[in-house]
Amino acid sequence: MRIFTVALFQRAGRRLPLPFPWPLSGRGLPALLLATLFMLSLAGCKQSDTQLRLKLAHTLDPTHTVHKAMVFMDQRLQALSGGSMAIDIYPSGQLGSERELIELLQIGSLAMTKVSASPLEGFVPEMKIFNIPYLFRDRDHYQRVLDSAIGEQLLQSPVGARLLGLGYYDAGSRSFYSTKRPIHTPADLKGMKIRVQESQTAMQMVASLGGSPTPVAWGELYTALQQGVVDGAENNPPSFYLSHHYEVARYYTLDEHSAVPDILLISKYVWDHLTEQQRGWLQVAVDESVALQREQWRVDTEAALAAVEAAGVTIIRPDKRQFSGQVAAMLQSYAGSPLGRVIQQIQEYP
């Protein structure tokens, strides 16, 4: 099915239409239509005679480190631009799921969003890289790669999907947590329904380890864990803590199977209508917020682990070699492919 959607970009009192046909999946169509109709009243960005306001939406709680970094980004953008630019932030999934927010960026009805690299791989195949388990040697190697030309190349890869990456927010390493029983080895995952994001690579990883991958929306996961729809999930410590999932999932296994960053995206349509000076101000504000968030993330990770342990969660530190050995075939399966060449670059990066 194809529909025509008209997005509005307001600038200097003039509305610029962006009509183009865009195929939508049947599953995302109703929610996207509703969100689009709402966003058309807001527009991706608005400009009065004195200020351009960019609309940014994401799914995280306002107490999350990434949201706080975005608030800082808005403050810095206003300061750098002399008050001529600002960012309106809509947290907690107010305007839709991560997939829906990506689609709103594609049609220009939303200026910016923050999404995990996992659902982004459905739009940008290169993002599969971040869901490949045990690709990075350690945290330092991971950060060096993100800060390198490889990381910049991956940020540019969404351009073909009418998106542009502006920066990486740290989302740490993802680990398993469960309601049924502790997970010490991959064998303990057998028969367990594990919630994953909408990522074929993440599903393959869980299946390779013996679990049953089950996609569930983030906002529905607490209830799914509570009611036994799924037996566990996987995420980083701050998200495990701030979501209150530790209240129903009492076992947390620090296997750290993947490092999936949060990516700050801007609509290519909106970016193309910013002046060079406005782009420069925005990129500086983004870079400063990324640096702030990266430092705070380390603090929040340690605090989250201490908090869930104090609440009675059993924290398990397994032998990661058992997990990495069982999924080694996933890495080998990409040999000779374009993605395999990027994997080799990452593995060889000092």
The DSSP string of 32-87 is HHHHHHHHHHH-SEEE-SS-EEEEEE-SS-TTSHHHHHHHHHHHHHHHHTTTSEEE
Nearest to 45 by CA among 92, 93, 4, 77: 77
Helix (H) / strand (E) element for 282: namely: helix 276-310
Where do the domains of the chain lie? 2-170+261-299, 174-260+301-348
With H, G, I as helix, E, B as strand and everything else as coil, classify residue 302: helix
Superfamily per CATH, domain 174-260+301-348: Bacterial extracellular solute-binding protein, family 7 (3.40.190.170)
313, 250 contact by CB (below 8 A): yes
118, 199 contact by CB (below 8 A): yes
Separation CA 217–CA 293 (nearest Å): 25
Collect all residues with Cβ–Cβ distance below 8 Å to 141 and sequence separation of at least 6.
349
With a threshold of 0.85, does the pTM exceed it?
A: no
> At the topology level of CATH, where does 2-170+261-299 sit?
D-Maltodextrin-Binding Protein; domain 2 (3.40.190)
Same-fold call for 2-170+261-299 versus 174-260+301-348: yes
Task: Please classify residue 322 by burial: count the beta carbons closer than 10 Å to its beta carbon, then call 0-12 exposed, 13-18 middle and 19+ buried.
Answer: middle
One pLDDT digit (tens) per residue for the chain, 350 residues = 222 223 333 333 333 333 333 333 333 444 444 444 444 434 577 766 689 999 999 999 899 999 999 999 999 999 999 999 999 999 999 999 999 999 999 999 999 999 999 989 989 999 999 999 999 999 999 999 999 999 999 999 999 999 999 999 999 999 999 999 999 999 999 999 999 988 999 999 999 999 999 999 888 999 999 999 999 999 999 999 999 999 999 999 999 999 999 999 999 999 999 999 999 999 999 999 999 999 999 999 999 999 999 999 999 999 999 999 999 999 889 999 999 999 999 999 99
